[in-house]
Each structure stands twice: as structure tokens, then as C-alpha cells.
Amino acid sequence: MSERVRILVVDDERSMQEFLEIFFRREGHEVATVGDVDAALVALETDDFDVVISDIQMPGRSGLELLREARTLAPETVFIMITAFASTETAIEAMREGAYDYITKPFKVEEIRITVEKALEKKLLRSENQRLKSELRSTRRERSIVGTSLAIQRVFELVDQVAETKTNVLISGESGTGKELVARAVHDRSQRSEAPFVAINCGAIPENLLESELFGHVKGAFTGAVQNKAGLFEAAEKGTLFLDEIGELTPTLQVKLLRAIQEKRIRRVGGMRDEPVDVRILAATNQRLEEEVAAGRFREDLYYRLNVIQIVLPPLRDRVDDIPLLVLYFNEKYARELDRHVTGIDDAALQRLCEYPFPGNVRELENVIERAVALCRREVIGLEALPPNLLRPGPAGPVSRIPSDGVDLEGLVAEYEKGLLREALDKTDGVKKRAAALLGISFRSFRYRLEKLHLEDPEDPD
């Protein structure tokens, strides 16, 4: 054992205490010894031990009583029990009460050394698992969906409702709205949360490779298949498989996916037998799949298998109230990641962000804030740190173009039309037939519009 550990020996025989103390001190560990259960409980209450080696049969209270009471005092401590009575009943009871293992007297030194080593390996593995779970919880908080608007609150409610079900879910919305975040939220809140979440973009991989990625392949199935390879269905066993851009699947793969969902079995490429799989399917698309079904490009039966429950994500322009909170979230995230002392955003910059329509949705806003944090020379993000396309003159987003006293629609349309006619004439050096063609209208219509808008030169023969 390379790590220094703390061991508590509990035995009413002084000779056994001394023997184990000498042995484990030679191994480089710290050892404390006591002669009864009460003293052991005091030691566990006042100090931390990695391993307790306790005799089962002792005058007064037994080692099994110590084991039971120590569960609350030292839940992380590993117990190894010693008994002079090699009975199955004693062993079973000790293991049932939470002991890692037991050994019988007389025992060999090597036996107890190996038993302690294995017990410590288990303890370290348990600690590592707890650390990873803590990191996972932190990661889940990091990738949480942010917002307080009514539109996103409806999404939260639906996520909570579907998470505990076993049904497949279709997540739809424009690119950048956070479909994978929603899929992860569904997985994290489900009973499958401790199993894998596996994601793949169906539109980013060619068909011949995508089939192998999803279902795996056997050695020799195709050129380059030098060994058996498990697919993502198998990798997601007991967990969740997230199929992003599901509308990009080819008809052939749609059939194979439908079969896998219906039968809960898959066959590797080149394989001869089916394998059972236990996977929940979450799919996402930025297309209108019902229109793809109507056009014959997406199988109707697969659509209904995937779309048992649908979650529709609103675009960012429909949840403008969430922009300040998202800005704060991304500001804190990238200030931490980039080690920048940027504490917020000024009113002018925030106003411009709230006016901008964000065609790339939340993903675009995140990129804007990451760039701003990286370039910001002050403690707060100002207009100068925003991308040029957000700083162009004029309204940047979905602000109202109709003043409270109304507008002259006919006049506005006429002025816009005049501008297009003049620009077309400028581009064609005044040749009206070419200008008409440039605007996609007939020469007769072009001449009529010139006359109507008083742009016609009566002396111009063209």
C-alpha cells in the first residue's frame, strides 16, 4: 500500500492489538488500538480512520454492535471483522451490516494485508465516485437553462413533467435556442440520470458512417473495420441517446432507427444477430417535421414514434425579458473561464442587445458576450466591446416602426419604390429595359411606375 492510512484496531486481546499495530506501522501507516466497543466509538467520534479492524466476539458488546453504531459516526470508514468462529452465519450477518470483509483466526499476515489493501481500494473508488458526482452536479448547474420569461417557464414545466416518464421526446426550435440543453435537463431529472447521456448530430456525419456510429459494426463489415466496434445505442445503455437534427436522416436510416425503437433491439453493421438495448430517445430538429412528413421526406411512423411528447423552444426574440439574465450568466461564466475582471454591462450596451433580433438565438448571444469579455478594457462591457454588426446605425432589432401618431403607408411605399427604380436605372446606365429586367417586371410595367411616380422624362425616347 503506497498511501499512508489510519487504522483502528479493536480487540480485547492485548497480544492481537500489539501484533497488528507492529505489522501495519512497518507498512508505514498510523495505527491506534483499543480493547472494547465503547472505547472504539469514542475514538471514531473524535478522530478519522480509514479502516477499522475489529474482533467480533468480545466481552460485553460485540463487534457487530460496533459496526451498527459506527455507520452514523464514520460512514466512510471501511470495516474488516475478525472472528475465531468460522461460521457462515457470522460472516453473512457482518456483511449484511456493512462490513467490507471478514477473516478468521488464525490468519496469515499476508491475508490481512491483502484484505486491507482491497478495502482501501474500494474506499478510494467510492470517494472518487462521490467527487465525480459532485462535479457532475456542478456541471449540470453550469449547463442549466436560464430565464424567467413566461415562454421559458412553460418549457421548464414541460421538462419537469416529461423527465420522469419513459416516453420519447421531440425537441423543436430554431438553431441556437438550446435544444441540447433541454435534452440534458430531461436526462438529468430522469431516473436514468446516473447512466450515460450520449449525443450525436445526425446532419454532421455521412450516411455510411452514421449507421456504424449509431449501431456499431463487426470486424470486416467494410473497408477499415479492423475490429468490432460498439455503437452509440450500446454506449447509451440504460441512459439517453440524443439525436440532434433528426430531420437530416436518410430514408434508409429512418427505417433502421424505427426498427430499433419499436423492437428495442439493434444489429451491428455486418452482424448476424440482434442485441437488446434499453435506451430512451430524445430527438431534436430545427425543421418542421410535420411538413417533411407531408412532403414524403420523413417517415410518418417514425415521426409519431419520436414525437410522443414535443417541447417547442421559443426563439430569443420572443423572450427578450430573459436577455439581461442571460447576459449576467454568460458574463460570469466567461469572466471566470478567461480570468477577466469584468463584472457587468452598462445600460447602453444592454439596451442594444435587447433591441437586436439575434437570428442565432442564445448561441449567438453567448458568442457575443464571450467576445465582449475577452476584449473589454473596463470592468463593465460597453458598446465598444460589442461586434460591429450590433453597432450599425438605425434600429438593431424588433423595435416598433409605427409611431404613436401613425404613418403614411402609401407615401412610405411610394418612396421605397422610387428608390428601387432609381437604383435600377443607375445600375443599368439608364437603360429602362435592362432596369425592368433587373427588378423582375415587364418594360410596360416599369414605364407605368415611372409615370405614376413622376420619374418619367417625356423627352427620353427609351
Specify the pLDDT at position 398: 43
| Residue 421 confidence class, pLDDT cut points 50, 70, 90 | confident
- The rounded distance, in Å, linking the Cα atoms of 417 and 453 is 9
pLDDT beyond 90 at 111: no
The fold for domain 150-312 equals Rossmann fold (3.40.50)
Q: Tens of pLDDT along 322-381?
A: 999 899 889 989 999 999 999 889 989 999 999 999 999 999 999 999 999 999 988 889
Chain-wide mean pLDDT for the chain? Answer: 85
The fold for domain 6-131 equals Rossmann fold (3.40.50)
Percent of the chain with pLDDT over 90: 43
> Containing H/E element for 430?
none
One of 3.40.1410.10, 1.10.10.60, 1.10.4080.10, 3.40.228.10 is the CATH number of 409-452, namely 1.10.10.60
pLDDT beyond 80 at 460: no
Every domain of the chain and the residues it spans? 6-131, 150-312, 317-390, 409-452
Q: How would you class 176 by CB atoms within 10 Å of its CB: exposed for 0-12, middle for 13-18, buried for 19 or more? A: buried
Write out the three cell numbers for 135. Answer: 462535479
pLDDT beyond 60 at 207: yes
Q: Tens of pLDDT along 410-420?
A: 766 777 788 88
Specify the pLDDT at position 385: 92
Percent of the chain with pLDDT over 70: 88
From the CA atom positions of the chain, what is the Rg in Å? 35
Check: pTM over 0.75? Answer yes or no: no
| Residue 123 confidence class, pLDDT cut points 50, 70, 90 | confident
Quick check: 79 and 70 in contact, CB under 8 A? Answer: yes
Specify the pLDDT at position 240: 95
| Residue 406 confidence class, pLDDT cut points 50, 70, 90 | low
Instruction: Give the residue among 203, 288, 181 at the shortest CA–CA distance from 253.
Output: 203
Do 150-312 and 409-452 fold alike per CATH? Answer: no
Specify the pLDDT at position 395: 46
Mean pLDDT: which of 135-144, 265-274, 276-285, 325-334 is highest? 276-285
Write out the three cell numbers for 335. Answer: 469572466
- To which residue does cell 443607375 refer? 426
CATH class of 317-390: mainly alpha
Quick check: 64 and 93 in contact, CB under 8 A? Answer: yes
| Residue 279 confidence class, pLDDT cut points 50, 70, 90 | very high
